[in-house]
Structure 1
């Protein structure tokens, strides 16, 4: 039997989208880096091509012969603007890079720590990996091989292993963390869409690694509440566990 998290389980609704899922954060980071990288690339290439064509060597008919001091082999080029262009370029670049680092770090820190809403708590589920499957242990002691969670609710996972090193992940929901024997790692996610996903192992753990897959079912909140109440605190493999608080069913308030 796995570790049961002593926790008063109350759900967190997404208040007007104020709680962002990890998948949304990673997509935002990707989009910002993609747009910024594309813009910088276009600017640099355009600037280089413009000056390469404008100041190209035209032989005897060169309108810039008297206006441009071309570099001479063995001589250092003279500064044309007192270093202002270099200063402005460096300053703007440094501002953009520092701002990008601060924003990215804060976004990743949010993904690492998860959201915090005063006065409300989230669902805790223990995940135990074994060769070759996953066991999901709910706050009432119910254990199952399928992870069922409510839609639009913050779910926190405490992940460990019963035998060797595994790595738990739900690709579609951008959830991934190590499952190590004798240690516990944490991850969290929200699922904005109902449906069935897959939890897989990312760590080569033996001959059955490729079949270490468990379904993840995201259910409407009412259906999840009804399903959880039907477990009656029973354990799918090890009998009966703790009773369920009727006022708080599976982390979703009645």
Structure 2
């Protein structure tokens, strides 16, 4: 008995999609599309059949259909509600199965790895600030561009230094809040090397629309080389400490006035 229960749990668990967040959400999308299409075909097909069967020709006697309802006639028979019960039962099975499957899938999205597998993750801290994103790596170095290796799970621990932000990488289906004094988490696996864009999805001030960051997905060997060189050249490869990067990030993430322009304006005013 216990073996049958375990086998059933394993079979149900096998139905939960695995892989990247993109694969998981695409699976949910296509399951909903398929079930919605199937239900739509059944409902519209039955409606069409009923409309054709009970269509009016103007001559009831010629139709020879004793089952045709007449205006004012009280319904009789009908299987004593069997059709209604069957339709409700099938609908309940479909809806409950869909809810259970989707809930299990979202549980995997929330916690995709076990404690043993967590050691293989790359954890990067993300700090939101008006109006830029700072990424802090395990070695303590920081960058205003997010560099990650391909085909490896990356866990982002997100917070904010000032106001509410929301960090999201739409191409990788990763998104979570950045809340002052708290941390939230999200994860992703980038299958293909390339460049993506991270955005802020919470209105956070005048420079909100410019609060973007480049996400660079690299081959694992190239990432290891880049990671080992962090701190050696603060201005190279888009990496370095916060002070070295801030001069680059501030002009593009502000409200249209960059740091050097403000400083030069203030200097000219003081001189005059």
Q: TM-score range by the shorter chain?
A: 0.7 to 0.9
Structure 2 counterpart of 1:67: 66
- Give the number of the structure with larger relative contact order, counting CA–CA contacts within 8 Å between residues 6 or more apart: 1
Structure 1 partner of 2:202: 203
> 1:169 is paired with a residue of what secondary structure?
strand
Measured in 2, the distance between the counterparts of 1:200 and 1:65 equals: 68
- Where structure 1 has 5 or more consecutive residues not aligned to the other structure, the ranges are 1-17, 240-254
Q: CA deviation at 1:25?
A: 1.0
**Which residue does 1:189 correspond to in 2?**
188
1:113 pairs with 111, 114, 118, which one? Answer: 111
The structural deviation recorded for 1:72 is: 4.0
Aligned pairs for 1:215-230 (under 5 A) are 215-230=214-229
Larger Rg: 1 or 2? 2
Are 1:236 and 2:241 counterparts?
yes
TM-score in terms of structure 2 length: 0.76
TM normalised by structure 1 equals 0.81
Match of 1:100 among 98, 117, 141: 98
Residue-by-residue CA offset, 1:117-141 (whole Å, 9 max, x unaligned): 7355211100000011100000110
The 2-side partners of 1:107 and 1:227 are apart by: 35
Q: Which residue of 1 aligns with 2:85?
A: 87
Q: Tell me which residue corresponds to 1:44.
A: 43
Q: Aligned with 1:134: secondary structure? A: strand
Which has the larger helix fraction?
Answer: 2
Q: Distance in 2 between matches of 1:182 and 1:206?
A: 19
Cα offsets for 1:159-198 (capped at 9, x unmatched)? 0001111000001001110001111111111111110000
More moved, 172-181 vs 35-44: 35-44
- Alpha carbons 2:231, 2:241 under 8 Å: kept: no
Corresponding residue of 2:253: none
**Contiguous gaps of at least 5 residues in structure 2:** 1-16, 235-239, 245-272
Between Structure 1 and Structure 2, how many residues are aligned? 221
> Shift of the alpha carbon at 1:61?
4.9
Residues 1:169 and 1:120: Cα distance change in structure 2 (over 3 Å): closer
Shift of 1:24: 1.2
- Match of 1:81, SS state, is helix
Partner of 1:139: 138
Given the superposition, is the C-alpha separation of residues 141 and 196 from structure 1 closer, same or farther in structure 2, using an over 3 Å criterion?
same
CA distance in 2 between partners of 1:238 and 1:228 (Å): 18
How far the C-alpha of 1:85 sits from its partner, in A, is 1.7
Q: Which moved more, 1:203-212 or 1:60-69?
A: 60-69
- Cα pair distance change 1:165/1:118, threshold 3 Å: same
CA contact 1:159–1:178 (8 Å) conserved in 2 = yes
SS in 2 for 1:136: strand
Contact kept, 8 Å, 1:71 with 1:77, in 2: the verdict is no
DSSP 3-state at the match of 1:159: strand
User: Would you say the 8 A contact 1:169–1:175 is kept in 2?
Assistant: yes
CA distance in 1, matches of 2:122, 2:18: 15
Range 142-151 or range 104-113, more displaced: 104-113
Kept in 2: contact 1:198–1:215 (CA 8 A)? yes
Please say which of residues 167-176 and 52-61 is displaced more in the overlay. 52-61
| Structure-2 residue corresponding to 1:176 | 175
